[in-house]
Amino acid sequence: MSFQERYQMWLKNSYFDEEIREELKQLNDQQEIEDRFYKDLEFGTGGLRGIMAAGTNRMNKYVIRKVTQGLAEYICDHGPEGMKRGVVIAYDSRWFSADFALEAALILAQNGVKAYLFDELRPTPELSFAVRELKTIAGIVVTASHNPKAYNGYKVYWEDGGQVPPAQADEILARIEARESWLGIEPMSKEAAKREGLLQMIGSEIDHVYLSRVKELALHPELDAQQGKELSIVYTPFHGAGNKLVRSALAELGFSSVTVVKEQEQPDPNFTTIPYPNPEIPSTFDLAREYGKNVEAELLLATDPDSDRLGVVLRAPNGDYRQLSGNQIGVLLTYYVLSQKKNLGILPEKAAIIKTIASTDLADEVARYFKVAVENVLTGFKFIAEKEKEMEDGGWGKFQFGFEESYGYLAGDFVRDKDGIIASILLAEAALYYRNTEHRSLFEVLESIYQMFGYYLDSQESLTLEGHQGQEEMVRIMDSLRQEEIRELCGIQIVKIDDYEQQIGKNLVTGQSYSLTLPRSNVLRFSFSGGGFVMVRPSGTEPKIKFYFSVKADSQSVAEESLRMVKDDVMNRIALIRSK
């Protein structure tokens, strides 16, 4: 069926509600119509994400219906036990999140699959926990995480609490694609679903159990209880789902001096006070900085709308506030967790951390210092969770901490996704411990790590390339980088090129090739002599191609200059490719 035929079906068939059809009537741009209908919104290993609007390549209740129908059919294939175990569903503060979550629950119910639906917005990591706690066969969270306000998404989790693995995702996708028609997928009524025991609302009872497990991760709970009130913290949930649980976790441990940014406390799908609900962006902390100055806070914390990411800003000795990168937070927490467990005598044999190939190699050096193994996985926290499960099932490793450079962190074994609540309590405790016990700030701890292992500095750039043409341009960029064997960038020698799409690496010094064991992925990674790398990958969730830069030097000033030069060299090369 052509995109025009799809458009006409949605425009004219009474299955689609009047609001959707009216929206489509207003379209007069053929390129916009093509972009909305030339394909289905892609269902990948984590689910789907897109702009909210009418169309097969957009997020709307009809896309939710079709995808959930495919999931329901896959669960029904597991028989009555799987259907009875059911699916737990959470959602964030975005437009239509609650509506999409209920729609999914009622489609499941119509197929005889039980749905547990949270009574109000909840963080993504709590959804992961709830899958494990309720022993459901799957989970759904309606969120677009840190994307702009125009987006929403639908992530699927499997029975271990991790994002649905590739094999199961392929099975679900096969059932979605087997249904060519968009028509005739109808939800059960809410009243009937409740009456038949196929819809159960859940809430605070899950919160209490989850928070009790989070608090168990504190390494110095007595210090927290006795002196936590001395640490002044400003927290903002960015109008999202983290507000109640982050504050509760901190307060119950003893961190009672927490000031919330009032303007960003309540859910707001327009994210009115911030340009983009992503704590990686410095300007999102503008209000928190003002609050910090007023209360002389030492620590500013921010979670994104579904509270799986944590951003951190620290007060410097001169009173200014400086934002940490995701890698700096990850290294600080890795160092804190491993060093304190070693000091307390609770660092187990076969201890391991897990990080992504896009994250700083400084964490590898820290782990080796404590004789802890490192597992590097593809970008995406689902791969960290999968590796943790492999360790657990195989008994060959004891997971201690995991992180990715995009502000995602995890400790413990009861959540299988990045967790902004867990990261918040560990970061607060680390700041308190070093200040009150070792009389050092987190800046001073980070500086000591650099002095031990070298100054690793990192940065990122992204090119937004939207629509069909954008996808073609991404392909051209990646093809060109593969064809040109780049041996140096601004004078810094490249010693290895790893192509995860071809699953082949090459040592440029010896000329030898080797196999890469990670799953196939459209990623190129160029490793520098002496440490650091450049990595390029198209995003799996946004219309962007991402560039990761990491350099190592003996001093901060040299590292800063090297980082600037490497970025300029790479981005000039990309501009040249695009101009051809």
Q: Quickly tell me which residue has 């066969």 as its tokens.
A: 137
- Pairs from 162-167 (Cβ < 8 Å, separation ≥ 24): 162/128, 162/382, 162/385, 162/386, 162/389, 162/416, 162/417, 163/45, 163/46, 163/47, 163/381, 163/382, 163/385, 163/416, 163/417, 164/45, 164/46, 164/47, 164/138, 165/45, 165/382, 165/386, 166/45, 166/519
Query: Is 145 known to be catalytic?
Result: yes
| Cα–Cα distances in angstroms (integers) from residue 191 to residues 109, 117, 188, 200, 556, in the given order | 11, 14, 8, 11, 63
Does residue 128 sit in helix, strand or coil? Answer: helix
One-letter amino acid at 520 equals R
Q: Considering only CA atoms, which of 287, 228, 289 is closest in space to residue 257?
A: 228
User: What string of DSSP letters covers 222-272?
Assistant: HHHHHHGGGS-EEEE-TTSTTHHHHHHHHHHHT---EEE-GGGTS--TT-T
The end-to-end CA distance of the chain, in Å, is: 34
Selected catalytic residue, list 93, 97, 145, 424: 145
Return the CA Rg of the chain. Answer: 24
Does residue 89 sit in helix, strand or coil? Answer: strand
| Phi then psi dihedrals of residue 564, to 5 deg | -60, -45
Element (H, E) at 475: helix 467-483
Element (H, E) at 449: helix 442-453
469 with 457: CB under 8 angstroms? no
Q: Considering only CA atoms, which of 365, 370, 368, 375 is closest in space to residue 403?
A: 375
**DSSP state, 52?**
B
| Cα–Cα distances in angstroms (integers) from residue 320 to residues 253, 290, 303, 316, in the given order | 28, 11, 21, 5
Q: Residue 363 and residue 353: Cα distance in Å, rounded?
A: 9
**DSSP state, 309?**
B
| Phi then psi dihedrals of residue 112, to 5 deg | 80, 15
**DSSP state, 318?**
T
CA atoms lying within 13 Å on the CB side of residue 231: 30
Element (H, E) at 455: strand 455-464
Active site residues: 145
